[in-house]
Amino acid sequence: MSGVGDLLVDAPALAAELAGGDPPTLLDVRWRLAGPPGRDDYRAGHLPGAVFVDLDTALCGPPGDGGRHPLPDPDTLEAALRAAGVRRDHPVVVYDGGDGLAAARAWWTLRWAGHRPVRVLTGGYPAWLADGRPTDTDVPEPAPGDVVVRPGALPVLDAAAAARLAAGDGALLDVRAPERYRGETEPIDPVAGHVPGARNLPVGDLLAGPGRPLPAADLRSRFAAVGVEPGVRVGAYCGSGVTAAQAVLALHLAGRDDAALYVGSWSDWIGDPDRPVATGDEPPRG
């Protein structure tokens, strides 16, 4: 079972590690759904020694049948991580612009790829600045890494598996905003609603602040309130598998290392017009 120290690191602790003899590899994964590109933020200032890795082109595959942010091609991912200096079994810290979304998806992708020692900087770049830590505009040229991508180290749901969870084989969590879950609005995808049987738990309910998950005991309570008890299989989805990765990180913090991500999420589900779509609130489960 993973502990908080295996998953998260705060700015003071990271600064101490970076001052040591064998610091972790830093990946800047700042990203916005609607742009502009995070690389522009990186060029304006980043943690010293950090290398920018693009979520859209390196950590995810191109949009298509698998949704807006499908799994990356393993060879493409391996090449990008090696270019960023990621070494086999060497610690990695990922950070984003503060909301924790891209960092969580980067954490999940590296863990799925078999690289276990990866943590998220709590609060991201803003937390580093708020702690008075130095930044840099130089673009480092790290020595090539030797990480080997071995897909499948974390569980993944496809549409069929998600449907089975939602139908009673476990708990499928829809972590989007309630109005999107209910189908009252859909600002991104062409169809509104949710997977029938999915339970709504907005990812904001799992956070103490931007990019800052609640303590483990509080997370367990939030998950239990929607039926995620010990022994209940659990998976999460959102619009395209980015926000849901933050929920999977929270599940790991709560002790659920078996939590699965529906990577394609809603953008994949609605790709097949024969799949059912539910709207409104799900009835309470007895």
Mean pLDDT of 207-232: 96
Contacts of 98 (CB under 8 A, 6+ apart): 123, 124, 125, 126, 127, 210, 211
Enter the DSSP assignment of 62.
P
Domains 4-130 and 156-269 fall in the same CATH topology:
yes
Does the pLDDT of residue 286 top 50, yes or no? no
pTM of the model: 0.96
Exposed, middle or buried, 39 (CB in 10 Å: 0-12/13-18/19+)? middle
Would you identify the CATH topology of the domain 156-269? Oxidized Rhodanese; domain 1 (3.40.250)
Report DSSP state, residue 270. T
What superfamily does domain 4-130 belong to in CATH? Rhodanese-like domain (3.40.250.10)
Q: Which residues are catalytic?
A: 238
- Per residue in 55-106, pLDDT (tens digit) is 999 999 999 989 999 999 999 999 999 999 999 999 999 999 999 999 999 9
Domain coordinates in residue numbering, the chain: 4-130, 156-269
Per-residue model confidence (pLDDT) at position 34:
83
